[in-house]
Structure 1
């Protein structure tokens, strides 16, 4: 009987220790797989790490992964506690229940929770690569049970009016990266300029050409029926190398004249005429005009940049669904959304668009975009309903304000400093 008791004691003890090891494995695996960076795992997988590739695959369905790990962890913890209770009760009698609870709580807390999770959180990618293969097998084995539990949970939540979509990510990559950049900037690790560039690149897919285009009222164009010498003078003196050409109606764009193409043809005609500039009167402008490239207003910026690069274009005319001209967009406009204003030796020095007053108020042109204002002032004014600051004021006020009117929304005080016709030309803004 004594030999039997001794054998049962050691078998039970070893079983409890083995279950604690399994509990530590499950706890550490959960922390490693949820805390690891998918970007770093992808980099390791591209270098040939099978463990990292496996970790990437099983973390695609986090709900199933966490469900399987929690199920396994709870099974081994409950079984270990049951065996410890039986063992301590046999040795110490009724007081063994309390003693088993105390001992198992300490063992599970230290060796099955804190220790493995601390290691996993300090080396998440390494730990995730190591535990991924066995965890993948466990997920496959326990998936039927986990699926049933998931279905039961959704039914219970639905009874309380909560609906869940298993295909929806809890946090999108865009929000995750943006949050990390904002945190890094607030802690002084990421410079404002670097944050703005990275966020600008991330936002390209969420913004359309309509938001950054140059409005048609500001486009410099050519009337192709004007005298040739006047057109040549306009192209030479313009700060732009490409000018849209129209006929009969400013919105009837028939081509785009590139100053280099124009000058090349002018040179050819003058040389053939033995240096007589009067020969340019024979110039056929349509022969040097390039075919206009039209862009729908709803095209995402990242797609439009790909189109510019693929088609080797730098210039597009933005149109609405009815084909009416809205404005123009260039490759440089899109790049400026990432790197900020790009200026060359031909750009005129422009004054600071933000005039700062002594009381902390700023005065700006109403046509200034909300995005540019947010970048310059490090603010977070919403730009979902309007592109310009004037548009935001009109949207919030639900009318076209008069000069002198004051509004307060989004934590700021807006004063209409000047108005021309239906346009808010100058605005004063102060944070409240």
Structure 2
């Protein structure tokens, strides 16, 4: 084998390696997340600092990869065929039945096939697959060599980038390569794919999702209804006022004038205690109370209260108070119910009701009535006073007591006399069940809620809690792919504090 053949073989190998390197760089730079490279760069990773330069100048470095791929491919075609052709010709010799010309032709064809195979396998497919599967590691690995290659190709790059921008302008496109901002929906989809096993808990994901929902909610969604608001009257004596404050343990009290149903101020108990023993009338301690409409955007009201240094506002509709909204109520829409040293409601959790119920991941029912019976029959007998009574209730009037939460979720519910505790059964139908003949979208998730008939408020609490969960894209997505009942229970347990408190 002559020196020229060896040199050609080495050159062909180098061309394949170079081609693979530039293909790896191209796909890695396109696939890698710029935010991740920025994070690594700020943490002090030296290769990430170089990689950030590549990502920031993506157009220029992609042009460098394209030039590298083109040069390597042309070089391989130039030196590869004669190198492999000569090698194969020497290996097969000159068979007596073939002339030298035929033998050379056979060697040339075999050489072309071998070069094409190696070029596609090692120079294209393998590095492309590696870059797609390991974009971050690939980007860090190619960062410094790619910077050297860019400097080597700098002058040709100026010409190529200029020509490329000129072509884009000719067809009416802007040459700016800045990445478009993510929409809110795109960010929510990104959040739904975050791995909760990497320190990013499901509860944190749900709070982030609730932040996105805040911009679509109104004051009516979060306010305390006026019948549930405790007030004091402007005409109350100090003794009557103190007695009311001691009885209910609230820190802020809307003050109502008997001649005007809409309160214009509120009393802060701290102000009252600070002036204990003084001759000042408690009326002088009243602070102004803002007014908002129930249809106002919740996020806008929060910003206004923060700007004004106010903690709460009265919700007025048609000159009639319909509710009270506080910053705490708005915060609860994000993190779940917040309790102080004086709880307003006893702590109740969805996970406890689910523990008393069951999880069906492969429902067999084909109609709503069959689904309700299947869910009811799965409840452990010890959780209900009469198993047959529960099934009878489920089969008689329950079909009409179904909350269609949309998004492929339905919430059947009933009150069972003598039930010991609230019960939740979660069912999943792979094929889906149509709730009504006119509804084309099938329902895949069922949240069956059973509460004691003696506790009417429990039903509204659990139905509302499961409805909130049904609205969460993150929770629905995870429930649809959960593989075991244990995973379903863990999802509900994680969602409990964020969604229901």
TM over 0.5: same fold? yes
Q: By how many angstroms is 1:235 displaced?
A: 2.9
* 1:407–1:415 contact (8 Å) kept in structure 2: no
- 1:75 maps to what in 2? 70
1:291 to 288, 311, 315: 288
Question: For residue 110 of structure 1, what is the aligned residue in structure 2?
Answer: 122
* Correspondences of 1:39-50 after superposition (within 5 Å): 39-47=35-43
- Alignment correspondent of 2:113: 101
C-alpha separation between the residues in 1 aligned to 2:268 and 2:314?
14
Q: What residue number does 1:341 align with?
A: 337
Further displaced range: 144-153 or 171-180: 144-153
Tell me the residue number matched to 1:162: none
Query: Which 5+ residue runs of structure 2 have no aligned equivalent?
Result: 90-103, 360-400, 408-413, 416-433, 437-441, 454-458, 468-478, 481-501
Distance 1:200 1:411 in 2: 25
Q: Which residue of 1 aligns with 2:140?
A: 126
Deviation (angstroms), 1:179:
0.8
What is the aligned-residue RMSD (CA, Å)?
A: 5.4
What CA distance in whole angstroms lies between the structure 2 residues aligned with 1:260 and 1:11? 90
Normalised to the residue count of structure 2, the TM-score between the two structures is 0.53
* Aligned residue among 201, 207, 212 for 2:214: 207
Q: Distance in 2 between matches of 1:104 and 1:98?
A: 10
Q: CA deviation at 1:213?
A: 1.5
2:194 alignment partner, SS class: helix
Partner of 1:227: 236
Q: Deviations over 1:43-101 (max 9, x none)?
A: 33335667645644654687x57964773465245324422454258635323233233
Q: Which residue of 2 aligns with 1:315?
A: 312
Separation in 2 of the partners of 1:244 and 1:135? 72
1:198 equivalent among 177, 202, 205: 205
Aligned residue pairs, count: 357
Q: Counterparts of 2:267 and 2:116 in 1: how far apart (Å)?
A: 82
CA contact (8 A) 1:255 1:289 kept: yes
Distance 1:214 1:329, change over 3 A: same
Cα separation, partners in 2 of 1:86 and 1:111, compared to 1, 3 Å: closer
Residue correspondence of structure 1 range 108-187 to structure 2 within 5 A: 109-110=121-122, 114=126, 118=130, 121=135, 123-124=137-138, 126-127=140-141, 129-130=143-144, 133=147, 141=158, 142-144=160-162, 167=180, 172-181=186-195, 184=196
**Which residue of 259, 271, 295 corresponds with 2:269?**
259
The alpha-carbon deviation at position 130 of structure 1 amounts to 3.2
Structure-2 change in CA distance of 1:11 and 1:44 (3 Å):
same
Write out per-residue CA displacement over residues 99-122 of structure 1, whole angstroms, 9 at most, x where no aligned residue. 233234225523665369648657
CA contact (8 A) 1:40 1:125 kept: no
Q: Is the 8 A contact 1:213 1:327 kept in 2?
A: no
Seen in structure 2, the aligned counterparts of structure 1 residues 216 and 427 have a Cα distance that, compared at 3 Å, is closer
Alpha-carbon separation, structure 2, partners of 1:309 and 1:116:
52
TM-score (normalizing by structure 1): 0.59
- Structure 2 CA distance, aligned partners of 1:124 and 1:324? 64
CA distance in 1, matches of 2:150, 2:311: 49
Bigger Cα displacement from structure 2, 132-141 vs 209-218? 132-141
Matched ranges for 1:367-378 at <5 A: none
Shift of 1:200: 0.6
Distance 1:235 1:166, change over 3 A: same
Runs of at least 5 residues in structure 1 that lack an aligned partner in the other structure = 156-164, 270-281, 362-389, 397-402, 419-423
